[in-house]
Amino acid sequence: MIHVLLASSQPVVETSTSTGQAVAFWILAPLAVVSAVLVVVSRKSVHSAIWMALTMIILAIFFLMEGAYFLGIVQIVVYTGAVMMLFLFVLMLVGVDASDSLVETLRGQRWLAILLGLGLGGLLVGAIGQVTFRGALGTTAAEAEAGGHLQAIAEAIFTKYVYAFEVTSALLITAAVGAMVLAHRELLAPRKTQRQQSIERFKDGTHPTPFPSPGVFARHNAVGTPALLPDGSTSDASIPASLRSRGAKRSGGLTALEPVDDTAEGGEQ
């Protein structure tokens, strides 16, 4: 009803938003910027992914605040739902034990990049600051013409932008096929059976038996605690390779008989 009233009258130019929206903006906008910075500076990529999800959720709230209800929900469903889950899946496949190297391959590249970033940011903010905005018209008038928010978006997609929409479907199919082709692995040799694996293990004779379980004779039974060998030294073979590469191995050996320092938690490098 409000839409109809607005449509019949002159479009209302809103030069200032409501107090509630202003409060929400001034709380969420710094949060969005800070979490975006944390995406860039987090050492571990999983932390980056979490901060990225927070930034995306805040952007979804911004969309809702600006009356783009459809996009706000799509942002949550597609970005924080699908895209971030995809990122976390790939992180589990790839990046969890791959720590980011801090060695600069190009000298001074980091400072140059930050300098360029400051320049770009200054340029963008300065350019926006130069413009005089007449205030927000709001999309309610345009939506009222079509009979509602969703109707207006649907009308635009299926009439004005119908060709872009059709091309989008081709793009999505290409992306799906491309991902399948890239992720596909050709089996060069027939898959080894358990019998063949066992024979191979005995043939090279290095370690025919299963590896020792972690922490069997130590004071902890956590997977990061190495097993003790009869002479009191620790067995590296008892720690899973991914934990070893992350440096998450706990101290063991004879020192394990002393009070265990719980602050020496693994994982930090």
Smallest gap from residue 87 Cβ to another protein (A): 7
Asked if residue 206 lies in contact with residue 193, where contact means CB atoms within 8 angstroms, the answer is: no
Question: Which one, 143 or 214, has the nearer CB to another protein?
Answer: 143
- What tokens appear for 41 in the block? 């500076």
Question: Which one, 9 or 263, has the nearer CB to another protein?
Answer: 9
Smallest gap from residue 139 Cβ to another protein (A): 6
Smallest gap from residue 187 Cβ to another protein (A): 13
Rounded CA gap, 27 and 13, in Å? 25
Question: Which one, 132 or 194, has the nearer CB to another protein?
Answer: 132
235 DSSP β-pair partners: 227
Helix segments in 19-74, DSSP class H: 19-41, 45-65, 69-74
Question: Which one, 170 or 264, has the nearer CB to another protein?
Answer: 170
Question: Which one, 60 or 218, has the nearer CB to another protein?
Answer: 60
Asked if residue 228 lies in contact with residue 252, where contact means CB atoms within 8 angstroms, the answer is: yes
DSSP string, 176-221: HHHHHHHH----SSPPPPHHHHHHHHHHH-S--SPPPPTTSSSS--
Smallest gap from residue 176 Cβ to another protein (A): 7
Smallest gap from residue 188 Cβ to another protein (A): 13
In the block, tokens 């998450």 appear at: 248
- What tokens appear for 210 in the block? 């299963």
